[in-house]
Amino acid sequence: MSRRAQMVVVAAAAVVVIVGLRYAEPFLVPVLFGVALAAISSPIATWVTRRGLPAALGALAALVVDLAILVFVGAVVTIAGVELEEKVPAYLVRMSSMTGALAMTLTERGFPVNPEFLSRTLHTASLVPLLGGAAVTVASAASSLGVVLLVVFFALCEGAGAGAKVRRLLSTPARGLEHVDRIVREVKKYLVVKTLTSLLVAVLAYVLLVLLGVDLALLLASSLFVLHFIPNIGAAVATIPAVLAALASQGPGTAALVAVGYLLINLLVGNVLEPRVLGRTLGLSPLAVLIGMLFWGWLWGPAGALLSVPIMMVAKITLENVEGLSWVARIMEPAPEEPETAPASGEPAPSSLLRPSVAGARRSG
């Protein structure tokens, strides 16, 4: 088979896989979320089993903690929904007056603007489709919650015997277990660290919103906790509703302070703390993370964006150990911190001398 024919076959197979993933979304997304939640909850189950208790009891303890957190989140959303319903009319009146003043100012400066056009989207009727879509999303998540929790429980129960299963399946158990163990360790560390940093960002944002007197502080901080799992743009998306809430409840000055505060929090945690703790473990370039997030977000929506980084980490580590495809994994890696220096005439480049040892160290690690 010619090279062109091989490329056509590979492209056709990729299209078939993508279409299959798209149609398998109702099954795969809850399962993958369950696996991710099991990885985050595994320290609790491990702590219980190390005290000589059965694995099922450790899985049950982790499940109870997860349910308590989910109940807390549900209570936060319910309370915030009631508060939002009570304050929406006042918000609409305030925003309508602000848009009217803005339209008048623009008109006086030579930019005629229709005030009715600006305030039309703030009418109460325009909130009905938004609330309806939110209700559908919540109902869909609730219907998948049972599947997620079942996957969490049985994944934690099976975790102890997973090594024995892999040994029976692989022809070279030692090498295979090394790769599987590396995938599990790195993905687990990423999820745990990302959860802790997202919690830190949410707590700091909640304190900021409370100090500035912004309404719906708990709901806005919770949304930041969830969206912070989406690299690069998740925190920026969470900033928009916080600024709008501050604008509607306190005015432009407070909205500007909220925007600056969110920016500083995300810069300190996302660009300083996370790279120090997570940089060597993640091993993905920002461009690869962004492209992966866009692809999986297009394929599975917001759930795909949340799952994009763990999926790409598994794919990268797997490709590193597949002959002929390791170059794809190297493309996904971040650029080296130190620029390569031009070699002297007749001498090999320093990077060419070091690269084999670095790659070997990574494979051995």
Residue 217 is assigned to a structural domain of this protein: no
State phi, psi for 343 to the nearest 5 degrees. Answer: -75, 155
Band (pLDDT 50/70/90 cuts) for residue 318 is confident
Residue 124 has pLDDT above 90, yes or no: no
Residue 338 is assigned to a structural domain of this protein: no
Identify the top-confidence range among 148-157, 238-247, 254-263, 352-361: 254-263
Q: Over range 311-325, report the average pLDDT.
A: 78
**For residues 310 and 283, what is the distance between their CA atoms, to the nearest angstrom?**
12
Band (pLDDT 50/70/90 cuts) for residue 361 is very low
Residue 90 is assigned to a structural domain of this protein: yes
Band (pLDDT 50/70/90 cuts) for residue 162 is low
The string of pLDDT tens digits covering residues 136-160 is 555 555 567 778 888 888 888 876 5
Residue 351 has pLDDT above 50, yes or no: no
Asked if 235 and 228 count as a contact pair (C-beta separation under 8 A), the reply is yes
Residue 112 has pLDDT above 80, yes or no: no
Band (pLDDT 50/70/90 cuts) for residue 251 is confident
The string of pLDDT tens digits covering residues 36-83 is 888 888 888 888 888 888 888 888 998 898 888 888 877 877 777 777
Of residues 283 and 146, the one with the higher pLDDT is: 146
List the structure tokens of 190.
């990423």
pLDDT value of position 170? 56
Asked if 283 and 226 count as a contact pair (C-beta separation under 8 A), the reply is no
pLDDT value of position 176? 55
Band (pLDDT 50/70/90 cuts) for residue 205 is very high
Residue 73 is assigned to a structural domain of this protein: yes
Mean of the per-residue pLDDT values for the chain?
75
DSSP class of residue 111 equals -
DSSP characters over 188-239: HHHHHHHHHHHHHHHHHHHHHHHHTT-TTHHHHHHHHHHHTTSTTTHHHHHH
Domain coverage including residue 23: 10-129+144-169
Residue 56 is assigned to a structural domain of this protein: yes
Number of neighbouring beta carbons within 10 Å of residue 55: 17
Asked if 201 and 190 count as a contact pair (C-beta separation under 8 A), the reply is no
* 133-137, 206-210, 227-231: the lowest-pLDDT one: 133-137
Asked if 124 and 92 count as a contact pair (C-beta separation under 8 A), the reply is yes
Band (pLDDT 50/70/90 cuts) for residue 278 is low
Residue 320 is assigned to a structural domain of this protein: no
Residue 204 has pLDDT above 90, yes or no: yes
Residue 304 is assigned to a structural domain of this protein: no
**For residues 304 and 34, what is the distance between their CA atoms, to the nearest angstrom?**
14
List the structure tokens of 70.
């989910």
Structural domains counted in the chain = 1
Distance of CA 7 to the CA centre of its chain: 33
Asked if 266 and 231 count as a contact pair (C-beta separation under 8 A), the reply is no
Residue 219 is assigned to a structural domain of this protein: no
**For residues 352 and 58, what is the distance between their CA atoms, to the nearest angstrom?**
49
Residue 206 has pLDDT above 90, yes or no: yes
List the structure tokens of 256.
């500007």
